[in-house]
Structure 1
Amino acid sequence: MSDTHAQSVAFVRDTQIPPSPPPASEVGPIKWMRENLFATIPNTILTVVALYVIYVILAKTLPWMLNGVWTSSSLTECREALEGATGACFAVLSERWHQLLYGFKYPYTEYWRPNLTFLLFVFAVAPILFYRLPRKLLLGTALFPFVAYWLIWGGTILIPLVALAGFVAGAAVYQRLVAGSFAMGFFGGVAVALIVWVIGGKLIPESMSDNALLMAVPSRDLGGFMLNFMLGVTCVSLSLPLGIVLALGRQSSMPLIKWICVIFIEFIRGVPLITLLFVASVMLAYFFPPGTTTDLFLRVVIMITMFASAYIAEVIRGGLAALPRGQYEAADSLGLDYAQAMRLIILPQALKISIPGIVNVAVGLFKDTTLVSVISMFDLVGMIRGPILASTEWSGVYWELFGFAALLFFVVCYGISQYSQWLERQLATDHH
């Protein structure tokens, strides 16, 4: 009786069965390969062909790299050390690394100055790239350009101090006048800054450079990858605000401002950068007051900045056009004036939309800095094509030098691209 009663009672489990692991084809590398490399028959064929091409390339390049010679004083010694085997002559990088990075005229004893400048640049740009850092760090960002100028070029410290005083005076006038009119505050601040610079420049005695704390280094002694990096950072930093002004000016309701911006943008975008660089090298000095000597570095910065700002202006104009009309109407309903509406509502959204385009222009601009070699500025490519390959010791070494240059540019441009993608993910708040 008891056995029959026990069999009629339903069994209730008091513990849960542990979950079974997923199939091996649905997790880990196998899943990734199945979905990305072998999802379909055409994808499988392309994957096999790509793997074969990679194998052929590595079969040729790996022995060449692994057999490379790092200690030698000339190409002839490299070939003797290889004894007829296939191998790279990386000794040119060991012998000429300082010329590739700093140029062949920058004083060897002063290399610590650009190194310190780069370290300060990392700390200065961090509050801009990572917006969650304390805003107080932006004070160091604002001071960095003046400190960097003094470290790189040396000479008297009064020159960057006068430049800083001009910016401070212009910002103070802008804050006082912008309440009445944005245009009045902007042009008033620019005028005051120019007055301070002109007066301060005339008061600085030329003899001060002889007794300066840091040895003066002229711009013609800058070179190597340092020159490319300086041009890229300077021109991108200047072209972004100028591009914003041009984009807003192109949408202005005042015909004069609108057509000035339109003509500038369309003319610059219709002219190759190499032509503008020749103009900077030959003709731009004639546009400055007579008797003044304009540094070639400054002229190149002006032209590259103008070139990049025209493209950035079109990118930002696309971001402004992508915003719905309701955003502008919302700003009007809140009683905001033009400057407040642009700063608080319109531009933050337009710039977020324009991030991919702005990064594309920045990457292209950084790579285009190698064009300065055609106007006798010894950047990284100019150093390779000029002093290094022209020397009898390393004439004929191409792959090693240009491969090193490609690696440097790839690291910088890939870093910019990855940061832009991270920033887009951080700002992707539209569909949460």
Structure 2
Amino acid sequence: MPQTSDLMPVEEHLAQILDACAALPPRVETVDVVDAHGCVLAQAVTSAIDVPAFASSAMDGYAVRRAETEHARPDEPVLLPVAGDIPAGRTDRLALEPGTTLRIMTGAPVPDGADAIVPVEDTDRGTSTVAVRVAPRPAAHVRPAGDDVRAGQVVLGRGTLVDARVLALLVSLGRPRVDVVRPPRVAVLSTGDELVEPGATAGHGTVVDSNGPMLVAALREHGFAAERVRAVADDEPGFRRRLDEVVAGHDAVITTGGVSAGAYDTVKAVLSASGEVTFRGVAMQPGKPQGFGVLGAPDGRRVPVFTLPGNPVSSMVSYLVFVAPALRLLAGQEAAGLAGVVAVTDEGWRTPVGRTQLARVVLDQRPDGLHARLAGGQGSHMLGALAHADALAVVPAEVGEVQAGTRLTCLLLRPRPAEEVTHDPAR
């Protein structure tokens, strides 16, 4: 793949970031089990108990000795006296006397001596005497102790993401606390003399800091704790002080702006001089100016710092391609990028030879397959096209012009039906 000589391929820049993050120790902590949601297990989980802990009924019905009801027929029911009820939640241990039955509810403990449950639908629903009209199968509707999980069984492996289903299993094991890899706490720090705070109206020569709220929202959508730090001006000592503050209180830092080659590119000037961050051009559009490094915190931690371009589209694309996979790795997850689909272009456009283009496109499902068209202007400052785009169409670096009818991989910005998703090409 041809690349501009002084630009690094996208894949190589991502690989270097992931290698650096993989070398950082995970942030492991013990949390209340209900607070483990969204985290990754730091250790395998072995059950100390059987689940369920007792044999229980899977149906509302009658607990019986099967041998006493094996000849039951609709026209020749077996009559049994009902000796009592067992509601769900009853904790005393009961025994079923021969020649009797106990009415039982779903989830209630099966009494000693009973080996089958007759559903109410197979009876006359009697409360003092019941007519059993259908012979139950062996162990019918009895959930044995340990039917789901056995004591001593490894039920969840290290690295398992605790989603709602996994959380339910953890809670059922009766574990009060669990060891997890804590998702990184991320600070977002925008820089630039031209920035005004969100909620203000931009005037002549100023712009609203959209990068900060945009990236914080993206981080939270991806399950990370995120904090927007008030934007700082192009002042080198001021930026250094603010950066040191956020490094001390966070596990990762994202900066936007100040990474190009201008006279007021403060981020690059400060961090290049110290040698803590490597800045380079990456062969992509948008998002060419990139920087990454690992800084030391006062408590000895190593904190990755991602320095992204200031143009909002470049910043968002850079976050999706480089930062999100790295943060997933820090959280103990796989370093997955955006899922992709293949779509046919409805139109053509020119692209920069030597740079992988990530074009904002709208997707349209038609009878002959998925189609893509440009979402609007492709300038790196144009948030309108980004807001309306469904995906980023990946144009290889060797292509100088996309022709109508070209098949392109498109990285999804919005969910698509599962049958359309082909692979994860951003990884």
Q: Which protein has the larger Cα radius of gyration, Structure 1 or Structure 2?
A: 2
The interval holding the TM-score normalised by the smaller chain is: under 0.3
- The structure with the largest strand share of the pair is 2
For normalisation by structure 1, the TM-score amounts to 0.24
For normalisation by structure 2, the TM-score amounts to 0.24
